[in-house]
Amino acid sequence: MRKRIPIVWDFFIFTPNIISVMDIKQYLDSTYLKTAEQAGLSSEENEKVVQKAIQEAIDENFKLIMIRPEFVAKARKMIKEAQSKVTIGTVIDFPKGAQPLDYKLAEAKKAIEDGVDDLDFVTDYEAFKRGEVELVKSQILACTKLGLEHGKIVKWIIEVAALDNHQIVQISALIKNIVVAHFKESEYENVFVKSSTGFYPTQNGEPNGATVPTIKLMIENSFPLPVKAAGGVRTFDEAVEMIKLGVKRIGTSAAKTIADGGVSQSGY
């Protein structure tokens, strides 16, 4: 008999074949976040791409469909009609995170009204780099409070490609310390630290998303908060590697390709 090899947690014992379809999909946040302009499409064409992405998430039973705020209501309608368990995520103050707190809160409240499940806020990482820590702290506290009070999962995108290793450690710990100081222990699992938007421009082919070294730093310094690896996960094996490191979610625009064992050419 072939030896069964534990590859994630003690209570999750997989063989390589078993994890390839059923289980990996429950880590995948299937993602489409391009505007029509970014995609080189008309508004109508881009909306059809979004609708196709939502339908694929329903058909494939991915954990979540991650879309821009203006499409949350459409996703809620489609998922309800399909009687699907797929959850809906959206991004707030995307992709730069530089808007003031009122903007972040207003955009999040609208998404909540439209039926969102997960709110992925972009941290004002440039303000953090400038030393405006109190501003960043106030945004993290207020937005996290809003999300948790409405029963939503909150994720904070720190944009690792814009940070050096020391800054990744600092901002991961900052988010953790705010949550631990102000929220119940039972709520920790609902506040993630997330690596990337997938839209940060880098030079010389440097990665703009999750890498093993950055994810290790995030996990070490955000615990007990969970971590989401977003951007740069292109194959099934890379997804499994991230899960083995301890990530709880993986954001990708190629969820079906990864689940099917293919290789994605997408940058996110």
| CA 104 – CA 139 distance, rounded (Å) | 8
Average pLDDT over residues 66-72: 98
| CA 105 – CA 164 distance, rounded (Å) | 28
Q: Which residues are catalytic?
A: 120, 194, 228
pLDDT band per the 50, 70, 90 thresholds, residue 264: confident
**3-state SS class at 129:** helix
20: pLDDT strictly greater than 70: no
Per-residue pLDDT of 134-173, as tens digits, reads: 999 999 999 999 999 999 999 999 999 999 999 999 999 9
Pick the CATH number of 13-259 from 3.90.480.20, 3.90.960.10, 3.40.50.360, 3.20.20.70: 3.20.20.70
Cβ neighbours of 202 (radius 10 Å): 12
Specify the pTM. Answer: 0.91
pLDDT for 10 equals 34
1: pLDDT strictly greater than 60: no
pLDDT for 263 equals 81
Select from 236, 248, 257 the least CA-distant residue to 266.
Answer: 257
- What is the 8-class DSSP label of residue 185? G
Rounded to the nearest angstrom, the gap between the alpha carbon of residue 81 and the centroid of all alpha carbons in its chain is 25
pLDDT for 204 equals 84
Q: Which residue stretches of 61-121 are H helix? A: 72-82, 101-114
Per-residue pLDDT of 186-224, as tens digits, reads: 999 999 999 999 999 988 878 888 999 999 999 999 999
Rounded to the nearest angstrom, the gap between the alpha carbon of residue 179 and the centroid of all alpha carbons in its chain is 18
pLDDT for 15 equals 39
